[in-house]
Amino acid sequence: MNKINVLDAVMAEKAEVLGCLPPEWLELIYKEKWFKLFVPAHLGGLGYTLPEALRIEEKLAYADGSLGWTVTLCAGAAWFVGLIEDSLRNTIFTDPKLCLAGSGFVGGKADRVGDQYFIKGHWTYASGALHASHFTANCALFENGNPILDAKGNPAVKAFILDKTEVKILDGWNYMGMIATGSHAFEVEQLYVPLNRCFDIDPAKAQLPDLVFQYPFLQFAEATLAVNILGISRHLQELIAAAFWKRDAYRKYSERQRKYFQQIVAKQKDRLESARRAFYDSIENSWAELETKRAINPATLKKISRFSRKLTQVCRETNAKLYPFAGLEAAQTHTELNRVWRDFNTVSQHALLVFPF
């Protein structure tokens, strides 16, 4: 299958109409193992490092926002492979069509009764829900009806893996952009699961030796989300420039107007590329620390967070500078430019990267 032909604007339009990734994209994803970016090779995955995976995620987001985001979120959930017990890992993660959707929201309660947990809850924004084989869900812990507290006196929380047959998907993704992510809500009303279905999202408790499972999850999440915003922004800015020059062919802008636009484009492109380089340099440095010291310095982790937020902020600012030159094509709901603009203005609202500090 030709990747270029599959990842085109026509297919992206089809995905938006469907409200989920089309079969052609899913076939390619399974073939390329993109949902299993971090799953070790012996389980049928790619076993990539974080720097390797980030560059793939950026390219996919550039091709289409919903595609990149769904792969990123589902591959990110599959990162939990390093944190769960052998019995569950070898049962679930060898599936070539593995796809984990989930939510970081603590929307459920898990009451331990003997050698089982009784689960009920409601979770939002599970990207890829419509083609997920499994779901991850965070639950507050109870035992025989009594809440369990952690060492700091806060409600104890664990993540659970649920089979798609155990959850009910709710039609809850009704937003202007990122439509094909199908980021619907899901719920569980009454479900008993064995004890091995839960795990801690804590690299210190990793069950596999691969370095990627030692990477702190907060910075892992920030970085993977930031590259999606970057990829979508690069696509959007190219479409805005193309729309401007298309209009120039029949409107005939003055030389002064053309020069002004070219200067704006060059300046914003330089700003974005500078932020992109700083971001990737910080990622590479953190990975080098992890390789040599088997740990990442807290100061380095703060840089990852700062550069992820800074990159996102630069995307917002450079897109805003260029948007006035997009013309009414940006407001026509059937155009590629409008779709990518809607995707950006949806995905850039993610709470994790709203503040630039």
Is the pLDDT at 2 greater than 90? The verdict is no
Q: Where are the domains of the chain?
A: 3-83, 100-205, 215-353
Residue closest to 78 by CA, chosen among 29, 116, 124: 29
Domain 215-353 - what CATH class?
A: mainly alpha
Residue 246 pLDDT exceeds 90: yes
Per-residue pLDDT averaged across 35-60, rounded? Answer: 98
Please state, in angstroms and rounded to a whole number, the distance separating the CA atoms of residues 109 and 142.
7
Domain 100-205 in CATH 1.10.287.130: no
Region 113-133: mean pLDDT is: 97
268: tokens are 């914003």
Mean pLDDT of 337-349: 97
Are 81 and 107 contacting, i.e. CB atoms less than 8 angstroms apart?
Answer: no
* Averaged confidence pLDDT in the chain: 96
* Residue pair 148/212 in contact by the 8 Å Cβ criterion: no
CATH number listed for the domain at residues 3-83: 1.10.540.10
List all residues 6 or more positions away from 38 whose beta carbon is below 8 Å from its beta carbon. Answer: 45, 46, 47, 48, 53, 75, 76, 78, 79, 81, 82, 210, 212, 213
